[in-house]
Chain A
């Protein structure tokens, strides 16, 4: 509690005491079980101390006992909004180790589904962002459009959220006959709805004043803390894995890496909105050009990776996701490490949020787009 100490008439200053406040683990805008210990002076934040571990499931340890096919489905449970990209990272690592040549069809489908997942993730983020800033209506607008993507996924692989569509060597099933039509319908629908997002939030003066100039992250700090994804690119850090180390069908498609240099909340917001347009562009290029062929390369019953170390990076909706496998030649890895983008993005929070208000912290957290299971693993 703030305690007012008046120091007499000769000094005109009133001393106030800093106090700490627990934000989370149960809090509406920590998006999961994140606990932030805030040191506050009135409404001004002096220090942010993230405490994690409330949803730690030791996924990395579990991976040491699972076969490579089983590991794939554990990655769904990390960043559940980028589940397809997480799966893809493990599959690509295994394929790279076993030198499996996946068919072109698989690459293209993986890319399309990845981009759809990214869109779904950003739609959810956009909705929640509005909600965090008090505009609850945006939440339901975001979900309306996300529902279409979820329906496509449900038809394709039977699951809406944790899809587990990838397997080492290809895909679990071939695409549904409706897939192309529904995806095209969605793209046409969403091209008309995305400007609506701008009208509702981006152009709103209150929203602008809440985000512009708030939560500045410099390029040096972004690189230093390893902030990747749209959050890093909003600070001018060109870190898109799809451009730097293209995988799957990304070498074939044309898209722009969204880079903004402002580094504030609005830049991070805008980077994601523009990234949605790029995702739509990628899908439009690929959806009519899915090559015929097998949906799975033939693989052995039991996958044993040759002794060695393997690393694969993919670009999830939150940034640079890495899988690092050390294999001793057995059917499960000796050690497996996930480099999750959320973890690095979380620990820059103290740097970014110092000196701002509590309300700003909510906006900052929202624009970094934290997903707790991704950070805790």
Chain B
């Protein structure tokens, strides 16, 4: 019903008919790049606004509500402010690495975005190793953080970067393991394939206990991986002022800021894809009428509802919990999450082997 494949195919046919194959491909690429860059920027702005409003309501405040309707243009105003600010570079900073770091982080965030399926046919790259690609690319972000901390010539930034390195390297294992647990069920790493495998029920319902456990393990580990509270040690503002981006200002700071929020979206989108059926609508057994109504809601809306719910969960965590200490953070990963994940993986393997899942 809501399939984007014909639309994409039509554009492809139109371009192939009017241009030589090389030019057509180039135009397609440019279009995709422009769309994703615009989406990246808008997503960042929207998420910053949403975060500020939600955190305000958690904290008995109103949040931004003056610029535009309900303050919706506040983030736009802030973005303009950041654009006009002077980009200060510290003396004795390593200029090249200092300027490179924000781009590496943005690049990682943007590349992960490219494999996410928003709806049927609405996906830039549908590669057969989608999940592996995501895990691999999201690790590049840590290089940016390390470079930012190292090149700033600031001890606070350096401590933040080192914390970040230890944290992300550790928590990647849990993210990977919890996703592998689900791959046992899906049988494919391709993201569109993962969604198709949930056509008759989401994995979180079909996968029994191990799937639910994997979801919670994934959420915990991925919040740590994207440096959000309560695991926001690399930028612990009460300890390290602003951590690795202490010395960044203006637009370069905005890049870090945007990447952080887009990463949050990415993580939520992966959770929605793997555990909650991506853009698959919610169905209950054989309630025909109910299922028909659910089908009526476009898949892209379904996708964003699920992502929004998970993002809300993450914000809830952030605005409720205190921050962990670095050693406690690593204990949590190596002594609890990792063993739990491995046990969960074995449990899931047994479950799949015996065919107990639905």
Which residues on A are within 8 Å of B, measured CB to CB? 1, 19, 21, 27-29, 43, 130-137, 139-141, 144, 200-201, 204, 206-207, 209-210, 357-362
Contact partners of B58 in chain A: CB under 8 A: 137
Cα–Cα, bound, A360→B328 (Å): 12
Cα(A357)–Cα(B327), bound, Å: 9
Give the Cβ gap from B220 to chain A, nearest Cβ, in Å.
12
* A140 CA to B240 CA, complexed, in Å: 22
**In the assembly, what is the distance between CA of A133 and CA of B177, in Å?**
30
Among residues of A, the one whose C-beta sits closest to the C-beta of B320 is A137
A28 surroundings in chain B (CB, below 8 A): 237-238, 241
- Bound CA–CA A136/B55 (angstroms): 10
Known: A141-B59, A209-B328. 10 other contacts (CB 8 A): A28-B238, A43-B159, A134-B323, A140-B61, A144-B60, A200-B320, A201-B322, A210-B323, A359-B233, A362-B239
From 56 to 80 in chain B, residues with beta carbon under 8 angstroms from any chain A beta carbon are 58-61
In whole angstroms, what is the CA distance A209 to B240 when docked?
20
* Cα–Cα distance between A359 and B241 once the two chains are bound (Å): 12
For this complex, 27 residue pairs linking A to B, each with C-beta atoms less than 8 Å apart, are A1-B155, A27-B241, A28-B237, A29-B238, A29-B239, A43-B326, A133-B322, A133-B323, A134-B232, A134-B236, A135-B320, A135-B321, A135-B323, A137-B58, A139-B59, A141-B59, A144-B60, A206-B323, A210-B328, A358-B239, A358-B240, A359-B233, A359-B325, A360-B325, A361-B239, A362-B238, A362-B239
Q: Which residues of B contact A29 (CB under 8 A)?
A: 238-239
Residues of B close to A204: CB separation below 8 A: 321-322
Interface: B158 (CB within 8 A) = yes
List the A residue with the shortest CB-CB distance to B237.
Answer: A28
Count of chain B residues near A, Cβ 8 A: 30
Residue of B163, B239, B324 most packed against chain A (CB within 10 A): B239
Question: With contacts A132-B238, A362-B239 known, is A210 near B319, CB below 8 A?
Answer: no
Closest B residue, CB atoms, query A357: B325
**Complex contacts, A136 vs chain B, CB 8 Å:** 55, 59, 319
**How many A-B residue pairs lie within 8 Å, measured between CB atoms?**
82
B229 proximal to A (CB < 8 A): yes
Q: Which of A135, A141, A359 interacts with B239 by CB under 8 Å?
A: A359
Q: Are A140 and B322 in contact (CB under 8 A)?
A: no
Q: Max chain A CB contacts within 10 Å: which of B58, B156, B325? A: B325
CB of A25 to closest CB in B, whole Å:
13
Q: Is the CB of B230 closer than 8 A to any CB of chain A?
A: yes
A200–B328 Cα gap in the complex (Å)? Answer: 20
Give, as a whole number of angstroms, the nearest-CB distance from A266 to chain B: 12
A210 / chain B contacts, CB cutoff of 8 Å: 322-325, 328
A206 near B230 with CB under 8 A, answer yes
Give A360 to B159 CA distance when docked, in angstroms. 15
Tell me which residues across on chain A come within 8 A of B163, comparing CB atoms: 43
Which residues of the partner chain B approach A139 to less than 8 Å between Cβ atoms? 59
Bound complex: CA of A131 vs CA of B158, how far in Å? 23
Considering the chains assembled together, what is the distance between the CA atoms of A19 and B158 in angstroms?
12
- Residue of A131, A134, A144, A357 touching B326 (CB-CB under 8 A): A357
**Chain B residues within an 8 Å CB radius of A134:** 229-230, 232, 236, 238, 321-323
Contacts of A200 in B (CB 8 A): 320
Distance, CA A265 to CA B324, complexed state (A): 15
Could you tell me the distance in whole angstroms from the C-beta of B236 to the nearest C-beta in chain A? Answer: 7
B232 contacts across to A, CB distance below 8 A: 134
